[in-house]
Amino acid sequence: MRVLLVDDEKELVATLAERLEMRGIDATWVTDYRAALAAVEKEAFDIALLDVRMPEMNGLELKRLIEVRRPTMKFIFLTGHGSEEDFKACSAESGRDYYLIKPLQIEVLMAKLNEIAHA
């Protein structure tokens, strides 16, 4: 399973990627939308983990751009805020309840990834 992690917090995204690698997931991480778009251009990922709140372009807008290039890709949103609008927007955008609240528990993330992979 190939996963793209996008979050403006490098420390977070890099560590998370390393932990996923340890669990046998091919994880690539980037910290802004340009790098993210470049990555999806280069490779086909199964799932993208997008932070909702990022500078320049938020996760929801980024998802729409990525979808143009990779229509079959699945998305999980990460939110630090946990507000109702974020939940609603994420649900609407991902089609299902694919959003997680930071700080996240790795077991929950793994369960979500497996669920999407086998969906």
Partner 1 sequence: MHEGLKRFKPGFLDHHDQSSGMYKSLFNFRLLWKQSIATTLAVVLLPLLTLAVVDYNISKEAMESELLLRTSRLVSNTRRTLTSYFDERKFALNFVTLDNTYDQLLDEQRLKQLLENLKSGLGVWFDLGVIDHTGIQRNYAGPYPLQGMDYSGQDWYQKLSYSDTDSYHETISMRSNISDVFLGFRNTPHIVISVLHSNPYGLDWLHYVLRASLDIDRLNNILSQMEVSGNGDAFLINHQGIIQTPSRFYGDILKKFPLDVPPVSDRTQVVEGHDRQGRAILIGYAYITGTPFILMVIKQKDNLMETWEVAGVKLLLFLAGSVLAIVAVVVGICTYLVNSIYQADQKRLASLHQVEYANKMASIGRLSAGVAHEINNPLAIINEKAGLIKDLFTFRQEYASDHRLLGLVDSIIGSVDRCATITRQLLNFARNIQLNVQKLSLKRVVDDVLEFQTKEAGYRSIAIDVDIPPEIPEFFSDRGKLQQVFINLVNNAFAAMQDGGRLAIASRLSSDGTHLITTVSDTGSGIPAENIKKIFEPFFTTKSGSGGTGLGLSITYGLVKEIGGSIDIESVVGKGTTFIITLPLEYHADKGETHARTVG
Q: Rule CB under 8 A: which residues touch partner 1?
A: 9, 11-12, 15-16, 18-19, 22, 80-85, 101-104, 106
Between residues 21 and 41, which has the closer beta carbon with respect to partner 1? 21
* Pair type for strands 74-79 and 26-30: unpaired
* Local structure of residue 98 (DSSP, 8 states): -
CB of 100 closer than 8 Å to CB of 109: yes
Between residues 19 and 70, which has the closer beta carbon with respect to partner 1? 19
Q: Where are the beta strands (DSSP E) in 1-119?
A: 2-6, 26-30, 47-51, 74-79, 99-101
To the nearest whole angstrom, how small is the minimum distance from the Cβ of residue 6 to partner 1? 14
To the nearest whole angstrom, how small is the minimum distance from the Cβ of residue 78 to partner 1? 9
To the nearest whole angstrom, how small is the minimum distance from the Cβ of residue 105 to partner 1? 8
